Amino acid sequence: MRLLLCCLCCLLAGVVFAGEPPLIPLAAGERLVEMRSADVTGDGILDHLALIDWKEEPEFPGYSQKLRLVDGASGTESVMTLFGQGGYGSKIMLPRLNGDAVPEILVEIDNGGSLGSSTYPLLTAVGGTLRELLPTDWIDIAPKASGLLLPNYRARIELPEYHRATIVNLQLAMPNKKEREKTYAGVYAPDGRLLRTEDAYSTPYSWMEPVNLDGSDDDELVGYQSVRAVCNANGIALVRTVLDWQGTALVVKDVRVIPYLAPERYQQTLNTLPKTADGVRQAIGLFRNAYPDAPAAWRDEAFRAFLSFQQDVMFRENERFTGGDDAVKRYNAIAANRDAGFVAYTTEMDPVIEVRQGFAADTFGAWMTPAVREYLRLEKAGYTGSISAEGMLLISLEELGKQVHAWEAYLGQYPDSPFVPEALTEYRYQLAVFLFGDDGATHFDIENRRLLPAAKTTLQQYAARYPDMLSARQVTAVLALYARYKNTWSVALGDAVRQYQERHDEERAGTYFPTDLAATWTYAVIGATPSSCRLTAAYAKDGKVQFNRTAETPGYLIFDVQADKVAQLSSALKAGVTENRLADPNSMYQVQLLGPIRKGHVWTSNGLRHEILHTGLALPVFGRVYLDVIEVAHTAPNDTETGTREYYAVGIGLVRRDYSENGSIVGQELLWEYKAETE
């Protein structure tokens, strides 16, 4: 059963407004796996891709897959059924391979099973029609690896067609002794003697990822095959293959056998290391041995595990550290401390040990993904940490604006970065200081209380320089707020500033439900009867807000929007009703959002269970990335897999709604455009 909340847009056929999003239907039994927006046709206009799956035979575990393209310029559609049965985590990737500056479409169809193999249809949409760039069997160029287990938990892995052989350490792949002895029982004795002959074998590609290895305009594809022994679930090595486009095909550019160390096992090893600088050195050495060529997701996860371990050791080092200037000099002279990234220095209080700024970038940067490498670059450049002290900014307001822009650009470019929480924290803090000052560092003249001309000019220049940035929208709003009070600080302006800050407080429910009169939200509705609908904030009084809906079946919705609670009071699907209905009796009462907005917060309302699943997300929708997004689930108390999930952005409102049945998305509403006539 589909559980429908009274919502801002209903799954109804409706008019499509000019310049509005594509209409993407989902037939009965179809599930929406992923939506991506990018120019894949080569005309400079955003196109839209929908990956959809369905079961052809109910008793068969796999799902068939198809890709639907909607040309952003013409609105015409192209649909292709893809080879391969998935349903275990398929996704769309957009590499640039063949030199035409237009991304190709690589679909990963995870086939599941203990072998963890996938198929990879490779398509192009240049010209507006989906077609295969290469035949489906292009994936057969995967190298064939074989091997043999050796005494002392070793294995010899061979690549016969490349005349290469590599010895791998099985203890690296499985560092826990008890787990290792259980897995290899009957194959190895506890002392490492080999008890029987055991072969190793490779699987088809388990991972495939676009990577720019040579700094050119085009990507290479890097594929990974697992090498297994004893059982399908036991990985002992990886075969890493670099594929490069040459002429009209992908060819093998490089192939090698690399260590197999899953991130969770790296974490297990860290737990056994001494909580000292020497332990950190060992953790770095293990990372250096296992991860430089590993899959990106493994590198990122292992790196986060290392940072957590290093921070834990740093706290312990501070607890153990005593002494003055001489002790600081002795600590900094120890090679192990320097190699671990630790540096001691004196303060007005007690000596402090911290991680040297730029240490992670210097030590790990060359091995990391672009998202992590860019975060480390910004961190090394001093874009993190305190920016004011003792009533003064430590950097110029103009430089601070550059940092705000850099963090917002980072979040927009890498919304899936593992460092989104840290980047968002820096962005929030630095934007607040940029708008209002901090720690006594004010934008207003202390004597005449006027807005400093230099501060006003810097803010104006920022808004003009980055008109499409979310931060520029806030800068414009704050400048208008200052102007409303004649650019002069007063008690009234102070109150207005506090009210503005409260409306953007990420822990308040009302922050995620803006009510500016005349603001409009336009949504694309994906489902059985695709449509679009537009909402306008038409009337407001004492926290009540009426939204009028324009669609084939128009109507209105009324909400009570308070700082810490947002509740829906009534709704009606009725043509021609545009007058003020705020005084009408409530037809329902359902709390959509309830503060404090924190992960794990649960409440019940109108017979439903509501839970905040995530906060602080960076969420792409139709090519735009919204910041400070929360994810809220609304389900029946006894069926958390069926219902809706809503995504709200600070200062924007609802940007996405998923309709789910048994854990699968069967419909969506996506924000196409938000316009605020007033701030």
pLDDT tens-digit series, residues 573-626: 776 677 899 998 888 899 999 999 999 999 999 999 999 999 999 999 988 899
pLDDT of the residue at 1: 27
- Between strands 131-132 and 122-124, the pairing is antiparallel
Residue 17, pLDDT above cutoff 70: no
Stated pTM of the model: 0.86
pLDDT, average across residues 117-140: 89
pLDDT of the residue at 243: 95
Amino acid at 378: L
pLDDT, average across residues 490-497: 94
DSSP output for 120-160: --EEE-TTSS-EESS-GGGGGGPPP-EEEEETTTEEEEEEG
Name the band, by pLDDT with cuts 50, 70 and 90, for residue 101.
confident
Percent of the chain with pLDDT over 70: 94
pLDDT, average across residues 379-396: 82
Give the Cα separation of 404 and 414 in Å (integer). Answer: 15
Instruction: Tell me which residue of 579, 570, 605 sits closest to 591, measured CA to CA.
Output: 605
Instruction: Tell me which residue of 416, 491, 567 sits closest to 93, measured CA to CA.
Output: 416
Residue span(s) of the chain under CATH 2.40.360 come to 509-675
pLDDT of the residue at 20: 62
Amino acid at 179: E
Do 571 and 556 form a contact (C-beta atoms < 8 A)? yes
Sign of the CA dihedral 5, 592, 535, 472?
A: negative
Give the Cα separation of 351 and 331 in Å (integer). Answer: 11
> What 3-state class would DSSP assign to 259?
strand
Give the Cα separation of 256 and 251 in Å (integer). Answer: 15
pLDDT, average across residues 648-663: 91
Instruction: Name the least confident of 256-270, 343-357, 589-603.
Output: 343-357
CATH class of 34-140: mainly beta
Name the band, by pLDDT with cuts 50, 70 and 90, for residue 530.
confident
The C-alpha angle 163, 165, 168, rounded to 5 degrees, equals 165
Name the band, by pLDDT with cuts 50, 70 and 90, for residue 9.
very low
Residue span(s) of the chain under CATH 2.40.128 come to 34-140
Give the Cα separation of 564 and 596 in Å (integer). Answer: 7
pLDDT of the residue at 117: 66
CATH class of 509-675: mainly beta
Do 213 and 201 form a contact (C-beta atoms < 8 A)? no
165, two tokens: 């052989």
Residue 503, pLDDT above cutoff 90: no
